[in-house]
Chain A
Amino acid sequence: MTTPPVARDRRPARAPARLGFTEPDAGQRLADLGWWDGDDAVPAAALVVWALARAADPDLALTAVERLRESLGEAWSELEEALRVDQGLRGRLFGVLGGSTALGDHLINQPERWRLLRTVLAPGRVHDTSRMPSAEDRCRTHLDAVGADADADAPVANVTGPSAVELLRLAWRDDVLLLAAADLQSVCEPELPFWPVDAISGQLADVAAAGLEAALAVARAEVGAERVADVRLGVIGMGKCGGRELNYVSDIDVIFLHEGPADAATRLASTMMRVATEAFLEVDANLRPEGRQGQLTRTLDGHVSYYQRWARTWEFQALLKARPVAGDLELGREYCEALAPMVWSAAERDDFVADVRAMRKRVEDHIRHDVADRELKLGRGGLRDVEFAVQLLQLVHGRGDESLRGQNTLETLAALGEGGYIGRDDAANLAASYRFLRMLEHRVQLQRLRRTHLFPSDDDTAGLRWLARAAKLRADGRRDAVGVLQAERSRTTVRVRRLHEKLFYRPLLESVAKVAGSDLVLTEESATRRLAALGWSSPSGALKHVAALTAGTSRAARIQRALLPVLLDQLGHTADPDHGLLAYRKVSEALADTPWFLALLRDEGLAADRLMYVLGTSRWVAEMMPRSPEVLRLLGGDGPTAELVARDPAEVAQSLRAAVARHTDPRSAGNVARSLRRVELLRVACADLLGLTDVASVCRALTGVWAAVLQAALDAAIRERAGDTPAPATIAIIGMGRLGGGELGYGSDADVVAVCEPTEGATDQEATSYARGVVESAIAALGAPSPDPALEVDTKLRPEGRSGPLVRTLSSYADYLRRWAQTWECQALLRARPVAGDEALGQRFTEMIAPYRYPEGGLPDEQATEIRRMKARVDAERLPRGADRALHTKLGTGGLADVEWTVQLLQLQHAAAVPELRTPSTLDALEALQAADLLSASDAAELAAGWTTATRARGIATLVRGKPTDQLPRSGRELAGIASALGFPEDDPGECVDEYRRVTRHARAVVDRVFSAV
Chain B
Amino acid sequence: MDRQQEFVLRTLDERDIRFVRLWFTDVLGYLKSVAIAPAELEGAFAEGIGFDGSSIEGFSRVYESDMVAKPDPSTFQVLPWEDADGDHYSARMLCDITMPDGSPSWADPRHVLRRALSRAAEAGFTCYVHPEIEFYLLRDLPDDGTPPVPADTGGYFDQASHDIAPHFRRRCIDSLEAMGISVEFSHHEGGPGQQEIDLRYADALTMADNIMTFRYLVKEVAITQGVRASFMPKPFTQHPGSAMHTHVSLFEGDQNAFHDAAEPYELSKTGKAFVAGVLRHAREMSAVTNQFVNSYKRLVVGGEAPTAVCWGHANRSALVRVPMYSPGKASSRRVEVRSLDSAANPYLAYAVILGAGLKGIAEGYELPPAAEDNVWSLTEGERRAMGYQTLPQNLDGALQAFEQSDLMAEILGEHVYDFFLRNKRSEWDAYRRNVTPYELATYLPTL
Decide: A886 near B6, CB < 8 A? Known: A973-B101, A989-B103, A990-B105. Answer: no
Contact, CB under 8 Å: B104 / A312? no
Docked Cα-Cα span, A184 to B413, in Å, equals 57
Interface size class of A (residues with CB under 8 A): 20 to 34
Chain B residue numbers with a CB within 8 Å of A886 are: 414-415, 418
CB distance from A888 to the nearest CB of B (A): 12
Contact, CB under 8 Å: A312 / B414? no
CB distance from B406 to the nearest CB of A (A): 8
Q: Which of B2, B3, B61, B106 sits near A884, CB closer than 8 Å?
A: B61
Contact, CB under 8 Å: A972 / B6? no
Contact, CB under 8 Å: A972 / B2? no
Interface residues of B in 408-426 (CB under 8 A from A): 409-410, 413-415, 418
Contact, CB under 8 Å: A970 / B418? no
| In the complex, A993 has a CB within 8 A of chain B | yes
Contact, CB under 8 Å: B6 / A309? yes
Contact, CB under 8 Å: A971 / B99? yes
Docked Cα-Cα span, A990 to B105, in Å, equals 7
Contact, CB under 8 Å: A988 / B61? no
Contact, CB under 8 Å: B6 / A312? no
Residue of B nearest to A971 (CB): B99
Contact, CB under 8 Å: B409 / A882? no
Chain B residue numbers with a CB within 8 Å of A975 are: 103
Contact, CB under 8 Å: B418 / A994? no
CB distance from B67 to the nearest CB of A (A): 9
Q: Per-residue CB proximity of A11-40 to B under 8 Å, as 1/0?
A: 000000000000000000000000000000
| In the complex, B85 has a CB within 8 A of chain A | no
Contact, CB under 8 Å: B100 / A971? yes
- Mark A residues whose CB is within 8 Å of B: 309-312, 350-351, 882, 884, 886, 970-973, 975-976, 987-990, 993-994, 997-998, 1001
| In the complex, B443 has a CB within 8 A of chain A | no
Chain A residue numbers with a CB within 8 Å of B64 are: 884, 970
Contact, CB under 8 Å: B104 / A1001? no
Contact, CB under 8 Å: B101 / A972? yes
Q: Per-residue CB proximity of B94-109 to A under 8 Å, as 1/0?
A: 0000011101111000
CB distance from A311 to the nearest CB of B (A): 8
Contact, CB under 8 Å: B414 / A993? yes
Residue of B nearest to A998 (CB): B414
Docked Cα-Cα span, A332 to B99, in Å, equals 47
Decide: A994 near B3, CB < 8 A? Known: A971-B100, A1001-B418. Answer: no
CB distance from A720 to the nearest CB of B (A): 48
| In the complex, B438 has a CB within 8 A of chain A | no
Chain A residue numbers with a CB within 8 Å of B415 are: 886, 993-994, 997
Chain A residue numbers with a CB within 8 Å of B418 are: 886, 997, 1001
Contact, CB under 8 Å: A994 / B103? no
Contact, CB under 8 Å: B6 / A988? no
Q: How many inter-chain contacts with C-beta < 8 Å in the A-B complex?
A: 56
Contact, CB under 8 Å: B63 / A1001? no
Contact, CB under 8 Å: B101 / A312? no
14 residue pairs bridging A and B, Cβ less than 8 Å apart: A310-B3, A312-B2, A970-B64, A971-B99, A971-B100, A971-B103, A975-B103, A976-B101, A987-B103, A988-B103, A990-B99, A990-B104, A994-B415, A1001-B414
CB distance from A425 to the nearest CB of B (A): 39
Docked Cα-Cα span, A987 to B99, in Å, equals 13
Docked Cα-Cα span, A312 to B7, in Å, equals 13
CB distance from A309 to the nearest CB of B (A): 7
Q: Which of B61, B63, B100, B105 sits near A972, CB closer than 8 Å?
A: B100
Chain B residue numbers with a CB within 8 Å of A987 are: 103
Contact, CB under 8 Å: A994 / B63? no
CB distance from A194 to the nearest CB of B (A): 42
Contact, CB under 8 Å: B414 / A971? no
| In the complex, B1 has a CB within 8 A of chain A | yes
CB distance from A302 to the nearest CB of B (A): 15
Docked Cα-Cα span, A884 to B62, in Å, equals 10
Contact, CB under 8 Å: B106 / A1001? no
Interface centre among A312, A976, A994, A997 (most CB of B within 10 A): A994
Chain B residue numbers with a CB within 8 Å of A998 are: 406, 409-410, 414
Residue of A nearest to B62 (CB): A882
5 closest Cβ contacts across the A-B interface?
A997-B414, A971-B99, A310-B3, A990-B106, A882-B63
Chain A residue numbers with a CB within 8 Å of B104 are: 988, 990
- Mark B residues whose CB is within 8 Å of A: 1-3, 6, 60-61, 63-64, 99-101, 103-106, 406, 409-410, 413-415, 418
CB distance from B324 to the nearest CB of A (A): 34
Chain B residue numbers with a CB within 8 Å of A311 are: 3
Q: Which of A882, A884, A972, A1001 sits near B99, CB closer than 8 Å?
A: A972
Docked Cα-Cα span, A312 to B3, in Å, equals 7
Apart from A973-B101, A975-B103, A998-B406, list 13 A-B contacts with CB within 8 A.
A310-B3, A312-B3, A884-B64, A970-B64, A972-B100, A976-B103, A987-B103, A988-B103, A994-B414, A994-B415, A997-B415, A998-B414, A1001-B418
Chain B residue numbers with a CB within 8 Å of A312 are: 2-3
Chain B residue numbers with a CB within 8 Å of A988 are: 103-104
Q: Which of B1, B100, B103, B410 sits near A990, CB closer than 8 Å?
A: B103
CB distance from A564 to the nearest CB of B (A): 28
Contact, CB under 8 Å: A351 / B1? yes
Residue of A nearest to B1 (CB): A351
Docked Cα-Cα span, A976 to B106, in Å, equals 15
Contact, CB under 8 Å: B101 / A971? yes
Residue of B nearest to A996 (CB): B414
Docked Cα-Cα span, A975 to B61, in Å, equals 17
Contact, CB under 8 Å: B413 / A994? yes
Residue of A nearest to B61 (CB): A884
Q: Which of B6, B60, B101, B105 sits near A310, CB closer than 8 Å?
A: B6
CB distance from A875 to the nearest CB of B (A): 15
CB distance from B256 to the nearest CB of A (A): 21
Residue of B nearest to A1000 (CB): B414
CB distance from A349 to the nearest CB of B (A): 9
Docked Cα-Cα span, A310 to B8, in Å, equals 12
Docked Cα-Cα span, A989 to B104, in Å, equals 9
Chain B residue numbers with a CB within 8 Å of A973 are: 101
Docked Cα-Cα span, A404 to B340, in Å, equals 60
Residue of B nearest to A354 (CB): B46
CB distance from A697 to the nearest CB of B (A): 28
Residue of B nearest to A351 (CB): B1
CB distance from B190 to the nearest CB of A (A): 41
Docked Cα-Cα span, A993 to B61, in Å, equals 15
Decide: A993 near B106, CB < 8 A? Known: A312-B3, A886-B418, A971-B101. Answer: yes
Docked Cα-Cα span, A342 to B110, in Å, equals 37
Residue of A nearest to B10 (CB): A309
CB distance from B316 to the nearest CB of A (A): 38
Interface centre among B2, B64, B101, B409 (most CB of A within 10 A): B101
Docked Cα-Cα span, A972 to B64, in Å, equals 12
Docked Cα-Cα span, A311 to B1, in Å, equals 10
CB distance from A878 to the nearest CB of B (A): 17
Chain B residue numbers with a CB within 8 Å of A882 are: 63
CB distance from A502 to the nearest CB of B (A): 30
CB distance from A95 to the nearest CB of B (A): 38
Interface centre among A311, A350, A972 (most CB of B within 10 A): A972
Decide: A1001 near B1, CB < 8 A? Known: A990-B106, A993-B106, A994-B415. Answer: no
Residue of B nearest to A312 (CB): B2
Docked Cα-Cα span, A882 to B65, in Å, equals 11
Chain A residue numbers with a CB within 8 Å of B3 are: 310-312
Chain A residue numbers with a CB within 8 Å of B106 are: 990, 993-994
Docked Cα-Cα span, A976 to B102, in Å, equals 11
Docked Cα-Cα span, A311 to B6, in Å, equals 11
Residue of A nearest to B4 (CB): A310
Chain A residue numbers with a CB within 8 Å of B103 are: 971, 975-976, 987-990
Docked Cα-Cα span, A830 to B106, in Å, equals 40
Chain B residue numbers with a CB within 8 Å of A993 are: 106, 414-415
Chain A residue numbers with a CB within 8 Å of B1 are: 350-351
CB distance from A232 to the nearest CB of B (A): 28
Chain B residue numbers with a CB within 8 Å of A970 are: 60, 64, 99
Docked Cα-Cα span, A553 to B418, in Å, equals 61
